[in-house]
Amino acid sequence: MPLQTQLVGQCTSPRHHAVDTRWTMAYAAGLQDENPRLRDTTQASLCVHPLFPVCLEWPSVLDSRALPGHDGLSDDELARGVHATHDLHVIKPIVPGQAYQTTARVVDLQAGHQGARVCLQLDTYDEAGDLVTRTWQTNVSRGVTIEGPAATPIAQAPAWPDIHLTQQAVDARREIPIAVSAGLGNIYTETARIYNPIHSDRAFALAAGLPDIILHGTASLALSVTALSRELLEGAVDQVTRLGGRFTSMVVMPQTLTLHITAQGSDWALFELRNDVQAPVIKDGFMVWSQASATAII
């Protein structure tokens, strides 16, 4: 069935989360991120992996599929949905031991050449009611059309970072191999608490027409951020303020991915993640840090 334009403007009820060190450390360990700042509990404040907010956002993403205007899709149509773009802004660090709540608001619905494009604004707040992270996420329902009167977007996702490329920045390019184990889809499913059987159940994945179980898009992005933080920030993950990219190819496990840092500045890096046949897995990838030009746009 088509998605209905009445979906635009709909918001999910808040999802409440208790974030503890067991969860944040497991998330980092599942990515084989050996940064001691993510697991040393002798620190006054344990750091959290920059992509950990996706763990809090996932239940709200699922809730958005039950909103009026989206709830008419069949199971087959829902299974054809793909995560297309991700743009995470970190306003305040997530702190283990605190409670958070997350909502998903549909801010835009557009027809694309592959299907209906749904733009979500995912907001996570702390106990004081302060905005902690905001993610702009686009999902594509492949082969699904749109029906209803034209709806005006209620918010505009910010443009990708406007970075001026100098020759020096381009000359900073380098490559970093990233090994993906055969079981990472299952591990990430449990540590991120993001369950979709195409990432962990081979029979289900094959029945869905996939060649095998495939890795979560957010896992590919998290692996990229781990490598960038180690290479460029000496593990200072608490400096990351914005990251994202476009998901373009699936990752079948095991294999070795290659992170291509295509340009680098004092507080930003551009990258592309490619699979073992050099097809791009993530295009237009970026990570920015510190409080200068990296300040989150909300």
Q: What is the pLDDT of residues 141-181, one digit of tens each?
A: 999 999 999 899 999 999 998 877 776 667 678 999 999 99
CA angle 255, 256, 262 (to 5 degrees): 140
102 contacts 124 by C-beta, under 8 angstroms: yes
**If we measure between CA atoms, which residue out of 253, 214, 226 comes closest to residue 30?**
226
Stretch 124-142: mean pLDDT: 97
Give the pLDDT score at 209. Answer: 86
Residue 297 vs residue 154, higher pLDDT: 154
283 contacts 245 by C-beta, under 8 angstroms: yes
Give the pLDDT score at 14. Answer: 98
225 contacts 51 by C-beta, under 8 angstroms: yes
Residue 38 token pair: 């993510």
Number of neighbours of residue 92 by Cβ within 10 angstroms = 14
Q: What does the pLDDT look like over 265-286, one tens digit per residue?
A: 889 999 999 999 999 999 999 9
**If we measure between CA atoms, which residue out of 289, 49, 16 comes closest to residue 192?**
49
Domain ranges of the chain: 3-147, 167-289
The pLDDT > 90 percentage for the chain reads 85
Give the pLDDT score at 290. Answer: 80
Stretch 201-211: mean pLDDT: 91
Give the pLDDT score at 161. Answer: 87
pLDDT for 37 beyond 70: yes
Position 43 confidence tier, pLDDT thresholds 50, 70, 90: confident
Burial class (CB in 10 A: 0-12, 13-18, 19+), 21: middle
Residue 292 vs residue 180, higher pLDDT: 180
Sorted by sequence, the CB contacts under 8 Å of residue 160 that are 6+ apart come out as 87, 244, 284, 286
Stretch 85-99: mean pLDDT: 96
CATH 3.10.129.10 for domain 3-147, yes or no, is: yes
Poorest-confidence range of 11-20, 51-60, 72-81?
72-81
pLDDT, averaged across the chain: 93
Check if 3-147 and 167-289 are the same fold. yes
Q: Which CATH number does 167-289 carry?
A: 3.10.129.10
Q: How far apart are CA 61 and CA 66, in angstroms?
A: 10
Give the pLDDT score at 168. Answer: 65
Question: What are the backbone angles phi and psi of residue 79, rounded to the nearest 5°?
Answer: -65, -20
Q: What does the pLDDT look like over 63-91, one tens digit per residue?
A: 999 999 999 998 888 888 899 999 999 99
